[in-house]
């Protein structure tokens, strides 16, 4: 007889199938083998609900063995609280008589051998065997399935949550790159609702120039050149403004390699690009003036030189340095100084040619790059325009400032080697412009480099001379002609050069002014002069005057250096007088007044040298806390208008008497000059008529002369420095 399995086992019929089944009918082992081969747990139950067979998968699932269940009612596997439900399900099934497959889930709870419970899905099938009906119960553990489904559902929920709440704009696009869905962040990015986006490709809201960028990426992905792509493009927001985004595209394909969809994640880099541009601008531009900085100007100079080498013509670099700018900072502070730099930059930029580049090279230096010049003479006109731009005074926060500049010019053409240091040449020309008097421009020539090398070598030699004791101080007497005695000495520096002999300060101090060596020389002069003067211990011991350069006078440490020299030497402060030229004092009158007042607190006197070279300044200078003025030598040795000169000297002396300031005539070389100065009321004099500057020992000897002789009516500075008994001054 044949065996027919309905539902779960299917239908078996025909002679061959019958032969196979017949083999299992009489073979318990073969029947059990068939059950054990099934992956799901199986029970064979008769119509009374008694278990007749089970497979190893069921035993593994529940822990029950065949010996535990065979002949037992199936209901003992069902918890008490579910037996009614279970019985109803079985009754309903039997009444229907229709097989229930695993596709129709029936959740049942089973009690395992160890007492724990497991949720299972049950599928029922009928078996007609030997005129009896049995139920084949297929049992599948739902824990793994439910866990997988739960994990899948959880992943889907998480992805949906991440997709919808992500701050990064995201879209799904189909094989034709049309948007299937988009998250709220993408809608917000474009300012468009979802319904306006779905079904459309992105070219409808892409910046027109960048449409090809998107299409190229889609073609690469569709052609499987890559499954991941990254690019940058621009969108147009609904309100019209441009958005820059970085796009990451990932593609998914079917088994045949056809594109299914793309997941696109986007990052708004609009502000980042703006910041990058700002940082790039800051890296190449001066933050104070907004001009190109050193890095940018050097790069453009390199390009300009290459262009001239290819196309011919001329190029030039003009180095613009503000004259005495430090005085502005020292007097008015850096806020005013910075505003002045901004004003200068604006003025220079106004006269700059569109083809050229103006930069702030550093501090108070500007570099101007000239390009596209066919005639070298045009460069001179550029230099003149730059200087002319600074002629009018600047008014900053109510303060009027006259600011001039010096300009160094370096020119090159197609024949100039590319390794020529153009900026260095402009710097050398700038030094020459300042040497010639400032407020002008100078053009580089090869001999300037030789001069520069010579200056460098001289500075090194001068620095060594100071360390080797070759720098000494000499002293020229200042004579009170009414009493024919020395009242003071002017300390003057000399260089005892091993081969050139005695070198005067005019040959090396100007050079020292170009470096910090001037501060070392100034400190040396103060220390030596105060030490020497401290040895003059007579009751009427003379004072000593020491000259200050511009850099010394406006140095913030001046008062400290002076005080330290006085303390070290033991010289009484009233016996020290510091000399500064009228030109230096008038560079910044307010600052000068502050410095002189600070020195007065130390009881150190100040003398204005070359006084009267600018008559408009007399009244102002007389109001400073001065001890002396030394009238300019143009009053002592006038070329014409002697009577007028004597009247001016008399006026200066009277003005000095009114303010308690002594007037000294310097550079007196003849008796005639002396007589005229005396007649004008000037009683203090110095010059070759009395003596040259002498060593400290000779100066000390002069103090013991009972009356001071003059050398006679001569203007020869080579006259003997020893006192001679010729014509004497009246008592």
Segment 561-615, tens digit of pLDDT: 999 999 999 999 999 999 998 878 877 777 888 899 999 999 999 998 887 655 4
Output the pLDDT for position 18. Answer: 46
Average pLDDT (665-679) is: 87
Q: How far is CA 265 from CA 20, 182, 231, 244, 491, in A?
A: 60, 10, 11, 14, 82
Output the pLDDT for position 12. Answer: 36
How remote is the C-alpha of 408 from its chain's centroid?
Answer: 28
Nearest Cα to 6, choosing from 85, 93, 88, 75? 93
Task: Show the tokens assigned to 516.
Answer: 């910090």
Output the pLDDT for position 367. Answer: 95
Average pLDDT (456-461) is: 76
Q: Identify the band that residue 713 occupies on the pLDDT scale cut at 50, 70 and 90.
A: very low
Q: Where are the domains of the chain?
A: 4-146, 166-274, 285-444, 457-702
Helix (H) or strand (E) holding 150: helix 142-165
Output the pLDDT for position 505. Answer: 82
Nearest Cα to 306, choosing from 418, 460, 428? 418
Beta carbons of 606 and 581 less than 8 angstroms apart: no
Output the pLDDT for position 547. Answer: 92
Output the pLDDT for position 554. Answer: 85
Class of domain 285-444: alpha beta
Which of 8-12, 333-337, 363-367 has the largest mean confidence? Answer: 363-367
- At residue 110, does pLDDT exceed 80? yes
Per-residue burial over 111-120, b if 16 or more Cβ lie within 10 Å, else e, is beeeeeeeeb
- Helix, strand, or coil here: 280? helix
Average pLDDT (635-656) is: 73
Output the pLDDT for position 20. Answer: 42
Neighbouring C-beta atoms of residue 471, cutoff 10 Å: 21
Output the pLDDT for position 143. Answer: 72
Average pLDDT (441-467) is: 77
Output the pLDDT for position 546. Answer: 95
For 151-213, give the DSSP string. Answer: HHHHHHHHHHHHHHH-SS-EEEEETT-BEEEE-HHHHHHHT--HHHHTT-BGGGGB-GGGHHH
Residue 69 has φ and ψ, to the nearest 5°, of -110, -25
Output the pLDDT for position 363. Answer: 87
CATH fold, domain 4-146, is: Beta-Lactamase (3.30.450)
Q: Identify the band that residue 639 occupies on the pLDDT scale cut at 50, 70 and 90.
A: low
Output the pLDDT for position 23. Answer: 46
Distance CA 77, CA 139 (A): 12
Mean pLDDT of the chain: 82
Distance CA 586, CA 619 (A): 12
Q: Identify the band that residue 449 occupies on the pLDDT scale cut at 50, 70 and 90.
A: low
Q: Do the domains spanning 4-146 and 285-444 agree at the CATH topology level?
A: no
The total number of residues shown for the chain amounts to 731
- At residue 40, does pLDDT exceed 60? yes
pLDDT greater at residue 415 or residue 276? 415
CATH fold, domain 166-274, is: Beta-Lactamase (3.30.450)
pTM for the complete prediction?
0.49
Q: Strands across the sheet with 170-174, in order? A: 179-182, 170-174, 259-268, 242-253, 228-236
Q: Identify the band that residue 473 occupies on the pLDDT scale cut at 50, 70 and 90.
A: very high
Q: Identify the band that residue 455 occupies on the pLDDT scale cut at 50, 70 and 90.
A: low
Output the pLDDT for position 621. Answer: 66
Q: Identify the band that residue 1 occupies on the pLDDT scale cut at 50, 70 and 90.
A: very low
Segment 86-106, tens digit of pLDDT: 777 777 776 665 555 544 556
Segment 374-429, tens digit of pLDDT: 888 899 999 999 999 999 999 998 888 889 999 999 999 999 888 888 998 898 89
- At residue 719, does pLDDT exceed 50? no
- Helix, strand, or coil here: 371? strand
Helix (H) or strand (E) holding 491: strand 485-497
Average pLDDT (299-306) is: 91
Output the pLDDT for position 566. Answer: 94
Output the pLDDT for position 727. Answer: 28
For 208-232, give the DSSP string. Answer: GGGHHHHHHHHHHHHTTS-SEEEEE
Q: Identify the band that residue 131 occupies on the pLDDT scale cut at 50, 70 and 90.
A: confident
Beta carbons of 663 and 631 less than 8 angstroms apart: yes
Query: How crowded is the C-beta side of 355, counted as CA atoms within 13 Å?
Result: 8
Beta carbons of 499 and 477 less than 8 angstroms apart: no
Orientation of helix 334-351 relative to helix 377-388, angle to 10°? 140
- At residue 240, does pLDDT exceed 90? no
- At residue 320, does pLDDT exceed 90? yes
Average pLDDT (165-170) is: 82
Q: Which residues pair with 141 in a beta bridge?
A: 120
Residue 71 gets the label, from left (phi > 0), alpha (psi -120 to 50) or beta, of left
- At residue 274, does pLDDT exceed 90? no
Q: Which of 231-235, 280-284, 502-506 has the lowest mean pLDDT?
A: 280-284
Q: How far is CA 103 from CA 2, 9, 126, in A?
A: 27, 14, 16
Query: How crowded is the C-beta side of 172, counted as CA atoms within 13 Å?
Result: 11
- At residue 241, does pLDDT exceed 60? yes
Distance CA 144, CA 41 (A): 14
Output the pLDDT for position 10. Answer: 36
Q: Which of 42-56, 352-366, 642-656 has the lowest mean pLDDT?
A: 642-656
pLDDT greater at residue 496 or residue 326? 496
- At residue 481, does pLDDT exceed 50? yes
Task: Show the tokens assigned to 250.
Answer: 């990932």
Average pLDDT (165-186) is: 88
How remote is the C-alpha of 17 from its chain's centroid?
Answer: 90
Residue 506 is classified by DSSP as G
- At residue 9, does pLDDT exceed 50? no
What percentage of the chain exceeds 90 in pLDDT? Answer: 28
Output the pLDDT for position 153. Answer: 76
Output the pLDDT for position 347. Answer: 94
Distance CA 249, CA 177 (A): 11
- Helix, strand, or coil here: 581? strand
Residue written as token pair 């004597």: 646
- At residue 371, does pLDDT exceed 60? yes
What percentage of the chain exceeds 70 in pLDDT? Answer: 86
Beta carbons of 137 and 89 less than 8 angstroms apart: no
Output the pLDDT for position 105. Answer: 54
- Helix, strand, or coil here: 620? helix
- At residue 531, does pLDDT exceed 60? yes
Task: Show the tokens assigned to 543.
Answer: 């004072």
Query: How crowded is the C-beta side of 657, counted as CA atoms within 13 Å?
Result: 11
Query: How crowded is the C-beta side of 145, counted as CA atoms within 13 Å?
Result: 11
Output the pLDDT for position 395. Answer: 92
Distance CA 626, CA 353 (A): 49
- At residue 179, does pLDDT exceed 50? yes
**Is 457-702 assigned to CATH 3.20.20.450?**
yes
Distance CA 260, CA 497 (A): 94
Output the pLDDT for position 723. Answer: 34
């Amino acid at each position: 007889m044949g065996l027919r399995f309905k539902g779960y086992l299917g239908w078996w019929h025909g002679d061959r199938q019958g032969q196979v089944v017949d083999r299992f009918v009489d073979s318990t082992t073969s029947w059990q083998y068939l059950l054990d081969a099934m992956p799901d747990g199986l029970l064979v139950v008769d119509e009374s609900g008694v278990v007749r067979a089970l497979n190893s998968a069921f035993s593994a699932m529940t822990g029950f063995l065949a010996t535990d269940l065979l002949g037992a009612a199936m209901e003992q596997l069902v918890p008490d609280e579910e037996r009614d439900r279970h019985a109803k399900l079985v009754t309903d099934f039997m009444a229907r008589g229709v097989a229930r497959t695993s596709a129709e889930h029936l959740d049942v709870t089973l009690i395992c051998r160890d007492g724990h419970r497991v949720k299972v899905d049950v599928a029922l099938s009928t078996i007609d065997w030997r005129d009896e009906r049995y139920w084949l119960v297929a049992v599948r553990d739902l824990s793994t399935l439910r866990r997988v489904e739960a994990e899948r559902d959880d992943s889907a929920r998480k992805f949906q949550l991440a997709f919808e709440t992500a701050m990064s704009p995201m879209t799904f696009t189909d094989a034709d790159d049309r948007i299937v869905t988009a998250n709220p962040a993408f809608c917000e990015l474009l300012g468009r609702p979802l319904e306006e986006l779905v079904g459309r490709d992105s070219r409808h809201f892409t910046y027109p120039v960048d449409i090809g960028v998107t299409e190229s990426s889609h073609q690469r992905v569709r052609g499987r050149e890559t499954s991941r792509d990254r690019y940058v493009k621009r969108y147009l927001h609904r309100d019209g403004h441009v958005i820059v985004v970085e796009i990451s595209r990932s593609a998914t394909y079917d088994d045949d390699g056809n594109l299914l969809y793309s997941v696109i994640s986007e990052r708004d880099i609009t502000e980042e690009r703006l910041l990058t541009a700002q940082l790039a601008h800051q890296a190449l531009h001066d933050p104070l003036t907004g001009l190109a900085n050193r890095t940018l100007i050097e790069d453009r100079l390199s390009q300009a030189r290459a262009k001239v080498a290819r196309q011919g013509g001329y190029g030039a670099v003009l180095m613009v340095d503000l004259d005495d700018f430090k005085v502005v900072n020292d007097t008015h502070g850096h806020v005013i100084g910075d505003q002045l730099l901004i004003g200068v930059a604006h003025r220079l930029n106004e006269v700059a040619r569109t083809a050229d580049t103006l930069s702030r090279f550093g501090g108070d230096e500007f570099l101007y790059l000239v390009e596209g010049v066919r005639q070298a003479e045009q460069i001179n006109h550029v230099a003149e325009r730059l200087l002319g731009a600074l002629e009018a005074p600047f008014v900053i926060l109510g303060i009027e400032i006259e600011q001039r500049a010096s300009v160094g010019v370096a020119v090159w053409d197609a024949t100039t080697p590319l390794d020529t240091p153009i900026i260095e040449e402009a710097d050398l020309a700038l030094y020459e412009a300042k040497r010639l008097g400032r407020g002008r421009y100078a053009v580089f020539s090869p001999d300037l480099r030789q001069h520069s090398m010579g200056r460098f070598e001289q500075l090194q030699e001068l620095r060594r001379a100071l360390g080797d004791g070759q720098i000494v101080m000499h002293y020229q007497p200042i004579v009170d002609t009414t009493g024919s005695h020395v009242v003071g000495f002017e300390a003057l520096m000399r260089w005892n050069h091993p081969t050139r002999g005695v070198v005067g300060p005019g040959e090396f101090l100007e050079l020292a002014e170009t470096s910090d060596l001037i501060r070392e020389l100034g400190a040396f002069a103060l220390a030596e002069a105060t030490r020497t003067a401290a040895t003059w211990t007579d009751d009427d011991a003379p004072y000593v005057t020491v000259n200050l350069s511009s850099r010394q006078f406006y140095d913030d440490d001046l008062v400290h250096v002076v005080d330290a020299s006085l303390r070290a030497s033991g010289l009484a402060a009233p016996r020290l007088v510091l000399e500064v030229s009228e030109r230096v004092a008038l560079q910044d009158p307010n600052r000068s007044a502050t410095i002189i007042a600070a020195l007065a607190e130390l009881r150190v006197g100040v003398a204005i040298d070359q006084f009267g070279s600018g008559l408009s300044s007399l009244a102002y200078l007389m109001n400073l806390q001065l001890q002396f003025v030394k009238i300019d030598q143009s009053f002592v040795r006038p070329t014409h208008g002697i009577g007028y000169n004597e009247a001016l000297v008399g006026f200066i002396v009277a003005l000095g008497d009114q303010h308690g300031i002594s007037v000294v005539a310097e550079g007196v070389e003849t008796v005639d000059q002396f007589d005229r100065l005396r007649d004008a009321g000037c009683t203090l004099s110095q010059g070759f008529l009395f003596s040259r500057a002498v060593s400290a020992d000779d100066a000390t000897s002069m103090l013991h002369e009972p009356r001071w002789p003059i050398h006679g009516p001569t203007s020869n500075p080579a006259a003997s420095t020893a006192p001679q008994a010729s014509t004497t001054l009246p008592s």
